Chains A and B, each alone.
Chain A
Amino acid sequence: MPASSHSEISAIIDANEQQILKEWLEALRQGASLETGRIKEPELNTQAKGFFSHLRGALREGGLDVRSRGYETLRSFLAEVSRTRALKGYSPSETAMFVFSLKRPLFDAAAKSADASAAAQRGWEINQLIDELGLQTIESYQKVREEVILRQQSEISELSTPVVKLWDGVLALPLIGTLDSARTQVVMENLLQSIVDYGAEIAVIDITGVPTVDTLVAQHLLKTVAAARLMGADCIISGIRPQIAQTMVHLGVDLDVTTKSTLADAFAVALQRMGRTVVDVDSIAGRTAR
């Protein structure tokens, strides 16, 4: 009688509510590593009781079909539990244990039934129900982690591509960290767009903070310089380390680019090309005084 399976499970839960909750909480307390302080006992109690009441509602509304509408509130409640746990640094199995540890208490309650075959049938249904809910938990957990990774990726790429204005018409791009091909591409597109936005005639690409440059990255750098030239801007590469200089030479690239050892030197060249110079204020003051 599949139509009444869920009501029988509901009946089992109703009859044994206090016992099941008590055993489940006990299991949760052991599994939740309360001593690490990631979760407090009252919070654990609230989560368990919340889940339990939503489960009873879901059984009533949606039977045993976890994907049905009746389970919507339970699913979103579980998703929230997974989310907070994922953010607190729980492992996937620690998170899934929240649901799985309910299995044993429910089994035990079902086993009390006088009818052995009915008990076995209920046990199987409970097993499936809890498994599906557990999988949902893991899925939500995974989704949250992926969101975190995506957010971090975009934060890193934003943080690592600051195009800064040094002077009217002069931009600098201080590159820091290892450059892979994909990141270099993003950085370069950013730089070229900034050249348009600022109307900059000179861009200094400073690679002091780049530990190594492989062949592909060096090629990307040179391509950027070529692209900037096509747009009408000049690039100066500064901060080239000795071994990077060697890589570039081994590439056999005729460096048709102005290179300077420091950002300061590059800035001086840029100012010169813009028809400007930096002077010592005291020396001017002294001259006018005399």
Chain B
Amino acid sequence: MERIPILKMGDALLITIQVDMHDRLAMALEDDLTQKIVQSSAKGVLIDISSLEIVDSFIGRMLDNIAAVSRILDAQTVVVGMRPAVAITLVELGLALTGVKTALNVEKGMALIGKQVASARGTSGRNAG
């Protein structure tokens, strides 16, 4: 069965969704990613959806789930590159993705994760001292 590749970039995992996903593929991604976060002890997950022409409630739920699971595993999820038409449609659909952080592109998303990781280290350092 085909799989969506998960790349490691520094502290973060990068997923670029480039195909029109059917539901099983989306569920497989959720599982794979959870495994990978634990294996690599990543601090951030970056999901690039700039190629996606639609995000329906199923994909929306997948993004929400990934964010929730990552949070428990101490990783920050950022969804990047959502197209305007997709965003308008999602809002109309009633999906706010409140648990998910967003950024305009991969670069800004990486910067956001970097900032989060740095501030988390800063806090834990202070706590230790």
Contact = CB atoms under 8 A, between A and B. Distances in A.
Are A and B in direct contact (Cβ within 8 Å)? yes
Interface of A: 188-189, 192-193, 195-196, 199-201, 223, 226-233
B90 A227 contact: yes
For A192, A193, A195, the residue with the greatest tally of chain B CB atoms inside 10 Å of its CB is: A192
Contact of A223 (B83, B91, B97, B104): B91
B16 interface: no
Contacts of A189: 84-85, 88
**Shortest 5 CB-CB contacts between residues of A and residues of B:** A192-B84, A227-B87, A232-B103, A232-B102, A230-B87
B87 A228 contact: yes
Contact of A192 (B79, B87, B92): B87
B102 A231 contact: yes
Contacts of B79: 230, 232
Interface in B80-101: 80-88, 90-92, 96-97
7 contacts: A195-B84, A196-B83, A196-B84, A227-B90, A230-B82, A232-B81, A232-B104
A196 B83 CA distance: 8
A231 B87 contact: yes
Given A232-B102, A232-B103, A227 B108 contact: no
Contact of B105 (A188, A193, A199, A230): A199
Interface of B: 79-88, 90-92, 96-97, 102-105, 108-109
B23 to A, nearest CB: 21
B103 A226 contact: no
B104 A230 contact: no
Contacts, number: 57
A189 B88 CA distance: 8
Main secondary structure of the interface of A (DSSP, over half): helix
B104 A195 contact: yes
A54 B68 CA distance: 79
Contacts of A229: 102
B86 to A, nearest CB: 8
A201 B108 contact: yes
For B80, B82, B87, B102, the residue with the greatest tally of chain A CB atoms inside 10 Å of its CB is: B87
A256 B112 CA distance: 21
A245 B88 CA distance: 24
Given A196-B83, A201-B104, 18 more contacts: A189-B85, A192-B87, A192-B88, A195-B84, A195-B104, A199-B105, A200-B104, A201-B108, A226-B91, A228-B87, A230-B79, A230-B96, A231-B83, A231-B102, A232-B79, A232-B80, A232-B81, A233-B104
A229 B97 CA distance: 10
A228 B87 CA distance: 7
A227 B96 CA distance: 8
B103 A223 contact: no
Contacts of B91: 223, 226-227, 230
A42 B79 CA distance: 71
Contacts of B80: 232
A193 B84 contact: yes
A223 B85 CA distance: 12
